[in-house]
Amino acid sequence: MDFSDEQETRRKCEKDYHEFNFDDSFAMLMPLTSFQNNTVPFKNMYSAICNYADVSRLLTWLPMLNCETRVDDILESPNDIPGFLSARPYCNVFFQSPYNTKVYPETCEMIINKCNITGKWRDYDRFTEMACRLYTSLFNDKYKKYKNVHCFMCNGRIESEVKETCEFEINVSAAPPF
């Protein structure tokens, strides 16, 4: 699947579930959690991509069917769910997190991922521009999020504004069940 169209990916990230017409795979619409840090859920795959998550390190939430009457059908894959639900209006699907996660998933925030988006870059430096494009290590200042510190620097910020130490929390959690 091609995610090169950032605006389209962002649009799909921000859509409510009832707005989808299932042109995309249902699996793309299912909530996910990073198994790198199981406290960060994503609304769907588009949200994970929009937030620069490593898609190879995501766990899909478990789709659970809830029907008013007994149903004996067995679904082969999550992509069978839309057809199953359209034939059975008395059924709903909900998703169960594989672990305890926070209640509110990440949303698509504007992350500055290119140089001079702000128009305030004073002195062009091709190495800074190349570094901005090369890697992801999210950097936050008071007002904006940047793909990395180099994207911060090539958008009108100066090196002296970069903190010398990182603020972080250490979360100790139990090992996931097998």
pLDDT-based confidence at residue 5 (cuts at 50, 70, 90): confident
Pair 90, 140 in one domain: no
Of 96, 131, 147, the domain-final residue: 96
Token digits for 78?
Answer: 């999550």
Pair 84, 128 in one domain: no
Token digits for 126?
Answer: 């091709």
pLDDT tens sequence across 37-61: 556 778 888 888 888 888 888 888 8
Closest CA to 45 of 78, 76, 85, 75: 78
Q: For the whole model, what pTM was predicted?
A: 0.50
Residue 14 lies in a domain: yes
Pair 91, 124 in one domain: no
Pair 25, 76 in one domain: yes
pLDDT at 80 over 80: yes
**pLDDT > 70 fraction of the chain, expressed in percent and rounded:** 71
Number of structural domains found in the chain? 2
Pair 88, 151 in one domain: no
- Range of 31's domain? 6-96
CA distances 166 to 70, 85, 141, 159, Å, are 54, 47, 12, 15
3-state helix, strand, coil in the chain (%, to 5): 30, 15, 55
Residue 155 lies in a domain: yes
pLDDT at 15 over 80: no
Say how far apart CA 118 and CA 143 lie, in whole Å. 13
Closest CA to 114 of 128, 93, 95, 99: 128
Pair 125, 88 in one domain: no
Residue 83 lies in a domain: yes
pLDDT tens sequence across 142-154: 778 888 888 988 9
Residue 104 lies in a domain: no
How deeply is 133 buried, as exposed, middle or buried, from its count of CB atoms within 10 A (0-12, 13-18, 19+)? middle
Residue 175 lies in a domain: no
